[in-house]
A and B are shown apart, each in its own frame.
Chain A
Amino acid sequence: MKDNKSKSELDYKKLTQSDKDLVSKMVAGGFSRRDVLKLSVVTGVSLVAAEQLLTEGKAVRAATPKKGGSVRCASNIHGPNDQLDPTLFTSSIDYMRGRATYNSLIQHADDLTPQPELAVSFEPNSNATEWTFKIREGVTFHDGKKLTADDVVYTMKRHQGEDSTSVIKAVLASVKEWKKSGPMEVKAILESPNADLPVLLGLFQTKIVQEGTTGAGIGTGPFVMESFEPGVKSVHVRNKNYWREGAHLDACEITAITDPVARVNALIAGDMQLVTQVEPKAFRQIEGADGATLLSTPAALQIGICCLKNTAPGNNDDFVKGLQYIQDRERIVKRILKGKGSVGNDTPVSPAHGKDFCSELPQRQYDPDKAKFHFKKSGISTAEIFVAPIQGGIEDICLTAQANCAKIGFDLKLKKVPADGYWGAVWMKEPINVVSWNMRPTANSQMGIQFGPGAAWNDTFWNNERMGELLALSLAETDPAKRHTLFCEMQTLIHEGSGMVIPAFSNINDGIADNVMGVPKVPLGQLGGCEWPEFTWLA
């Protein structure tokens, strides 16, 4: 320890190696930022140097996963409708419980490429109209029963058929039949070619359940469900018979705190180690707090305004253009999303989708003069947007648009409705409403879901034949250059003609305690696509 009296700040370089080692060890052992700074006063180490040691120490910690410990995770909604049937999973808390309890055939890597999980291999035939999946041997459910191809076929069939209530029924509709082709082999026979089928089989709702059940919390997953109280919490303990190395944590608890302020307070107070859906307003609070970190993952989480094209005023192209030009995109990202997001170009594809993003498409800018021109040309002087708090920042985006419209003399009204019942009563029904979409693993499925002519969730009712052609072509195209041209054309079509206004993409913002490591970066959902249960460890 240096002499207390010499409080002068020392250069990092002047520290002896043993001092550095000492502090690194302390940091690796879990000293917080505050402790290291305190230490710096005692040892005379400069604040700058202390920061650097802290970063080094963190790097040391990050390398090796440690076993043990338990965490509590608070998601943002739950309710008496919490349940354990994967086909009905619709919110983050379901996805996380699903990840802890079950497995799918396919897993998503951080860059969204499909990885083997319960399917050791997946091979298409020559024109991608048939996929063969080899099922992993030696996997058992939590109650001891062995996993067989029968369980897989049964699970997949639950997404098909007239009586099916599966959330992803439409997404998997291209599969005509699931067939057991061997004791541990399953074939999917498709109606039309689909090179992306494996990626879709990593979606949250594709978890494999036992034949004859609806899930009931018995899966093959890294945690065994110890208790489940719908609307309150669930407790999970490590599965000792997991088919691969498995979870690092001994146990985890999953619950939800619906009030956003309370959720963040719980993280900062140390009552929770992981929380989802941190609002932009709370970023400063987390960043300034000891012991908590903001985890912001770039994603194509879409925030948009739909103008229905089958009715006024959405069917007036100039009106839509006016609404698009009045969006102050840079400011939205900077001020409302606090920089944790990216500018949108009125298409659902973002750089997070990888190569299929059309970077050649010129970025639409905030242009009040052009907006005024288009509004004037449209002959419309007032409109009303139905707004609900379905995603953080969406109301504020509409408020900003309203203020900007007022400046150019356009009367944009906002009608606020509650979030519950929004999807049934307002979305796809009112002439102008807001929407948000979780990122889909492929640009093709992203565009297909929303903009395919006649698609079930075509929220602007935009029917464009060429779009339909391109979607089908792109599913079958394998040559990268040709693929890119197709995707660019699709995005241009949407950019120019659909009724969709997408001013920004939001990052996925979660909060974690400083000692929580290993959260994946899959951008499909909160906390690494809800994949955290199996991969997280405590430093």
Chain B
Amino acid sequence: MTEQTATTKEEEVLAKLDAFAELPDAPPKRKFRLTWVGYVSTAVVVFWLVICVIGPSIAPFHEMDMDGDDSFLPAGEGEYGHFYLGTDYLSRDTLSRILYGARNTIGISLVATLIAYLLGITLGILAAVKGGWIDMGISRVNDAILALPTIMLGLIVIAALGSSIPVLIGTAAIIYATSVFRIARALGQDIMVQDFVEAAATRGEGVWWIIRAEVLPNAAMPLATDFGLRLVFVVLFISSLSFLGLGVQPPASDWGSMVRENLQGLTYGSYAAIWPALSIASFTIAINLIVDDISAKAGGSLAKKMV
């Protein structure tokens, strides 16, 4: 108990946590060890995140440039420069559009998923800990939103508010917050009935302390792995909206719309639709592989309940 006056509340909690960690039935410590698969996937994700930032500056063409008189050119030398991946249906350079599009596709999805998580976790754990009417009320509204088809909700919101980027982010965030809510609530409930929480409750700890010290640290890893899954869903949701013409608007490039616009080219051997699809797949598969890797190593029965 040295330097008591200088110790912050945080450190008190940490000290208690450390003490707990030594007890026999405490939750296991988290370990960060990845296999080679995990490392490769992380490299892929980092690569795309970097492209989000520097993409437009290294692109050989602007995303709007329509050079060349013919569409769906294969990779090679064009009139105005080298098309590394060929051109799309409006004679725009596919490589450049993918580089520009990374920000839209990944950026929108990341922000939307983060917001969904904030919303979902806060409400979910609140509902789990408080129970009663609060739980009832939030759960019902949540169920109502969950029951409605996502595309239909997206369609209505976008038809009413226009399909700008904030609207897309907001819509995706609210729709996917619902699933996060359910999971956070289930997790919270599960943890609430675990022995060590009962022990804390009998000791007289308050609700907020229980959340911060007991529920969150245990739920953190499983929720983090679920984050990866949600991110994939959001990316695919936005691509589906693009398929129906509601997603990111031209001329801004977005991988999902690029697949949609150039689908016809597949029939006569153009790869214009394949490159953006591969980009989406590489990103989402990498995230899922990381998630799989972490959750396998993280240990704890809770983590694995969280598939």
Question: Do the two chains touch directly in the complex (Cβ atoms below 8 Å apart)?
Answer: yes
Which residues of A pack against B, CB within 8 Å?
Answer: 261, 264, 279, 281-282, 284-285, 288, 331, 334-336, 389, 395-396, 399-400, 402-403, 406, 414-421
Q: Which residues of B contact A389 (CB under 8 A)?
A: 245
* A-B contact sample (9 more), CB < 8 A, given A402-B251, A418-B245: A281-B265, A282-B264, A282-B267, A284-B268, A331-B69, A335-B70, A335-B91, A395-B250, A416-B250
Does B195 touch A at the CB level, under 8 Å? no
B90 touches A396 (CB 8 A): yes
A399 touches B264 (CB 8 A): no
Cβ-closest chain B residue relative to A279 = B264
Does B147 touch A at the CB level, under 8 Å? no
B64 touches A406 (CB 8 A): yes
Which residues of B pack against A, CB within 8 Å?
Answer: 64-66, 69-71, 89-91, 158-159, 162-163, 245-246, 249-251, 263-265, 267-268
Q: Which residues of A contact B264 (CB under 8 A)?
A: 261, 264, 279, 281-282, 285
Q: Which residues of B contact A416 (CB under 8 A)?
A: 163, 245, 249-250
Q: What are 8 A-B residue pairs whose CB atoms fall within 8 Å in the complex? A: A281-B265, A282-B264, A335-B91, A389-B245, A396-B90, A399-B251, A406-B64, A415-B249
A414 touches B245 (CB 8 A): no
Q: Which residues of B contact A279 (CB under 8 A)?
A: 264
User: Among B66, B162, B267, which residue has its beta carbon within 8 angstroms of that of A400?
Assistant: B66
B66 touches A261 (CB 8 A): no
Q: How far is the CA of A416 from the CA of B164 in the complex (A)?
A: 9
Q: Which residues of A contact B89 (CB under 8 A)?
A: 281
Q: How far is the CA of A280 from the CA of B109 in the complex (A)?
A: 32
Q: How far is the CA of A419 from the CA of B244 in the complex (A)?
A: 11
Q: Which residues of B contact A399 (CB under 8 A)?
A: 64, 66, 90, 250-251
Which secondary structure dominates where chain A touches chain B? Answer: helix
- Separation in Å of the A433 CB from the closest CB of chain B? 14
Cβ-closest chain A residue relative to B244 = A418
A335 touches B69 (CB 8 A): yes
Q: How far is the CA of A288 from the CA of B89 in the complex (A)?
A: 17
With A335-B71, A396-B90, A418-B245 already in contact, the answer to whether A403 and B250 are too (CB < 8 A) is no
Cβ-closest chain A residue relative to B270 = A284
Q: Which residues of A contact B162 (CB under 8 A)?
A: 415, 417
Q: How far is the CA of A261 from the CA of B89 in the complex (A)?
A: 14
- Separation in Å of the B128 CB from the closest CB of chain A? 39
With A335-B69, A396-B90 already in contact, the answer to whether A414 and B251 are too (CB < 8 A) is yes
With A399-B250, A415-B162, A416-B250 already in contact, the answer to whether A285 and B268 are too (CB < 8 A) is yes
Cβ-closest chain B residue relative to A331 = B69
B69 touches A403 (CB 8 A): no
With A281-B89, A288-B268, A331-B69 already in contact, the answer to whether A418 and B251 are too (CB < 8 A) is no
User: Among A331, A334, A336, A414, which residue has its beta carbon within 8 angstroms of that of B250?
Assistant: A414
Q: How far is the CA of A281 from the CA of B65 in the complex (A)?
A: 19
Q: How far is the CA of A363 from the CA of B64 in the complex (A)?
A: 28
Cβ-closest chain B residue relative to A328 = B66
B65 touches A403 (CB 8 A): yes
Q: How far is the CA of A401 from the CA of B264 in the complex (A)?
A: 23
- Separation in Å of the B80 CB from the closest CB of chain A? 13
Cβ-closest chain B residue relative to A336 = B90
Q: How far is the CA of A416 from the CA of B246 in the complex (A)?
A: 9
Q: Which residues of B contact A284 (CB under 8 A)?
A: 268
Cβ-closest chain B residue relative to A289 = B267
Q: Which residues of B contact A415 (CB under 8 A)?
A: 162, 249
Q: Which residues of A contact B249 (CB under 8 A)?
A: 414-416
- Separation in Å of the A265 CB from the closest CB of chain B? 8
Q: How far is the CA of A102 from the CA of B143 in the complex (A)?
A: 50
